[in-house]
A and B are shown apart, each in its own frame.
Chain A
Amino acid sequence: MMNSMIIGKYVPGDSVIHRMDPRAKLLVIFIYVFIVFLANNSATYAILSVFTFSLVVLSRIPLSFVLKGLKPVIWIVAITFLLHVFMTKEGDVLYQIGSFSIYEGGVKQGVFISLRFLLLIMITTLLTLTTTPIEVTDGVESLLGPLKKVHVPVHELALMMSISLRFIPTLMEETEKIIKAQTARGVDFTGGPFSERIKAIVSLLVPLFISSFKRAEELATAMEARGYRGGEGRTKFRQLVWKWTDTAFLAAVLVLAVVLFALRS
C-alpha cells in the first residue's frame, strides 16, 4: 500500500546501472539536466533519446516501470504540448479549424518540449528505480562534502535524511494503527462534512505527533548512549567505491554534451 508507493520505488537488481556509484549517477543527471536544453532539432533530440533509452536498457528494468514514473506528469506534458501547438505560429499551416490554425512549427515545438520533459522525468525515475534512498543520501553527502569547510552541516543533514528514511515505514505503520483505533471510536476517515473531517485529521495527527516526539527523544537518548557526538572523528561503514565504469559513464555524458553542442542548429 503506502509502503510500496514510497519505498517500493527501488527495484533491486544487479545491472551496470544499479552498480554505479551513486555519486556518478547524481553527476550524470546533473549534467544531463543542463544538456537537455542544448537539443533543439531532430538530430539532437534523436541522439538524446537514444542515449536515455540505452540507459534504461542497461538497467534491465522493464520499460513499463520507467513509463509508470511518467504517469503523474502526463497531464502537464499534455498541456505543454497543446500550448505549444496552439501558440506557436511558425512554418506552414497544417490544419485549420475556424479561427485556429495549427502550424508545422507548433507541432514540432510541442513534440520537442514534451520530449525534453519526458526524457528528464525518465532519467530521474531511472535513478530512483536503481538506487536505494540511502545510496542517494550517501552520494549527496559525499558530493556536498566540500561544503563542510564553509560550515554547512552536511553530515548532520545526511544523518537526518537517513534516519527519516529509516522511520518512514515505522510511521506509516503507526499511522495505520491510529486510523484503526480512531475508526473504532467512530471517526469516519473516508468522508463526511468538512468540520468532521477536520476533527478526524486532528484525532490522527495529534497522537502521531506525540508519538513521533517521543520516538525522537528516545532515539536521541539511544544514539547518545551509543556514543554519538556529531560527525567529528567518525568513521563510515558504508563506503562508496568509484569504479572505471563510473568514469566511463561520466565521460559518455560529456561526449554527449559535445555532440549535442556540435549538432544543434
Chain B
Amino acid sequence: MDIIFEKVEHVYNANSPFARRALYDVDIMIESGSYVAVIGHTGSGKSTLLQHLNGLLQPTSGTVTVGNQTITNKKRQRDLKPLRKKVGIVFQFPEHQLFEETVEKDICFGPMNFGVPEEEAKKKARELMKLVGLPEDVLAKSPFDLSGGQMRRVAIAGVLAMEPDVIVLDEPTAGLDPRGRKEIMEMFYRLHQEKQLTTVLVTHSMEDAAAYADYMIVMHKGTVWKTGTPQQIFQDSDALAEIGLNVPETVRLKKELEKKLGITVPSPCLTIEETVDAIQKLFSKVNAHDE
C-alpha cells in the first residue's frame, strides 16, 4: 500500500485570524514495505504530516492517496474510518490513551472498533504480549498498575492489534531508559522485516534514522527540505547543520577520521557495526600493506 502526497497543504484554523500554515508543497511517496524516517525540528511540520497519513487531518489543499483511498478536504471524517485500520499510529507517550480495566480489554479495543470478533481480538492480544515483551499474566491486570515502560508496550500492542498495513511511530521511545528504547526500536524493526510492515518513524534521533530507515524525509519550516536514502541525506553534514540538524555519531566519526587521516572511508557508516567494520578494515589494509 503506497502512500502518495501531492501538493499537500495544511492550514490550521483556516479562515480565522488565528490561521497558521503548518504544511505546504508537500510531495512525497512512501513505498509499500519500506521503512521511512521523518526528521526535522519541533515545529517543522512533522506531526502535522503524520496526522495526514490516516486522515486524522485532511489537507486544506492537495491530495493524500493511501492505497486506493484518496483524502482531500472534501472527504467526510466518517468515511475515513476504514483507513484508520490500515494505518495505525503510535503517538508520543501512547500510554496516555489507555483506559480499560484490563490490559486485554484495552488491546482488544482497537480491533473491536473495526468489527473484529472478541474471541479473535483476544487471541491476537495474547500473541502480541510475546511480541512486545510482556508476560501473558499481564493481560488480566489493570494497565494502571504497570510500570511506565510496561504501559508503553501495552499501548503499542493496542495499535498493533488492529493489524495495520502501515505503522506510524511518533517518537515511540521518548522518556524510556536506554535499554527500553533499544528493545522497542528493535521490536519494530523485526516486525518491519518479518512482515514487510510499512513503517514510518518520526524521530529526533539521527542514530535511529540511520540505523533503521531505508528512506528519509527531512522536514523544515512546513515543507519537505530533502528526501533520500540515509546515506544521501547524511552525506552533506554542513547542509544539515544549516537547518539545525546533526548527522549520526557514526557519520561524524567517519568524517573526523577522514579529515584527520586524509583518507576516504568507503562505508557509509550508518550503524555501529558498519563503523566498526570500516575502521577494522582500515587497519587490516595497513597491515597488509606493511607485509
Contact = CB atoms under 8 A, between A and B. Distances in A.
| Direct A–B contact in the complex, CB atoms closer than 8 angstroms | yes
Interface in A165-199: 174, 177-178, 180-188, 190-191
Contact of B84 (A4, A184, A190, A191): A184
A185 B109 contact: yes
Contacts of A181: 89, 91, 94, 96-97
B97 A178 contact: yes
A190 B96 contact: no
Given A191-B78, A210-B144, A183 B84 contact: yes
A209 to B, nearest CB: 9
B91 A180 contact: yes
A213 B56 CA distance: 28
B42 to A, nearest CB: 14
Interface stretch (A21-29, A127-135, A200-208): A200-208
A1 interface: yes
Most buried by B among A178, A185, A203: A185
Contacts, number: 59
Contacts of A186: 81, 84-85, 110, 113-114, 162
Interface string B103-116: 00000011001100
A177 B99 contact: no
A42 interface: no
A180 B99 contact: no
Contacts of B51: 180
Contacts of A184: 54, 56, 84, 88-89, 91, 159
A41 interface: no
A177 B91 CA distance: 9
A1 B19 CA distance: 11
B68 interface: no
B13 interface: yes
B59 interface: no
Given A184-B54, A184-B84, A207 B97 contact: yes
Interface in B88-133: 88-89, 91, 94, 96-99, 109-110, 113-114
B283 interface: no
A206 B98 CA distance: 8
B158 interface: yes
Nearest to A181: B97
B280 interface: no
Contacts of B158: 185
Given A177-B91, A183-B84, A210-B144, A188 B78 contact: yes
Most buried by B among A1, A190, A203: A203
A247 interface: no
A202 B94 contact: no
Given A184-B88, A211-B96, A190 B110 contact: no
Contacts of B96: 174, 177-178, 181, 207, 211
Contacts of A185: 84, 97, 109-110, 113, 158-159, 162
Given A178-B96, A186-B114, A191-B78, A203 B109 contact: yes
Interface string A46-74: 00000000000000000000000000000
Nearest to A182: B97
B97 to A, nearest CB: 4
B77 interface: yes
Given A177-B91, A185-B113, A207 B98 contact: yes
Interface string B7-46: 0000001001010000000000000000000000000000
A81 B18 CA distance: 37
A185 B16 CA distance: 30
B56 to A, nearest CB: 5
A184 to B, nearest CB: 5
A207 B144 CA distance: 10
A183 B56 contact: yes
20 contacts: A1-B13, A4-B16, A181-B89, A181-B94, A181-B96, A184-B84, A184-B89, A184-B159, A185-B97, A185-B113, A185-B159, A186-B81, A186-B85, A186-B113, A187-B113, A188-B78, A202-B99, A203-B97, A207-B99, A211-B96
Interface of B: 13, 16, 18, 51, 54, 56, 77-78, 81, 84-85, 88-89, 91, 94, 96-99, 109-110, 113-114, 144, 158-159, 162
Q: Which 7 A-B pairs have the closest CB atoms?
A: A186-B113, A206-B99, A181-B97, A185-B110, A184-B89, A186-B114, A181-B91
Given A178-B96, A184-B84, A185-B113, 13 more contacts: A4-B16, A177-B91, A180-B56, A180-B91, A181-B96, A181-B97, A185-B110, A185-B162, A186-B113, A190-B77, A190-B78, A191-B78, A207-B96
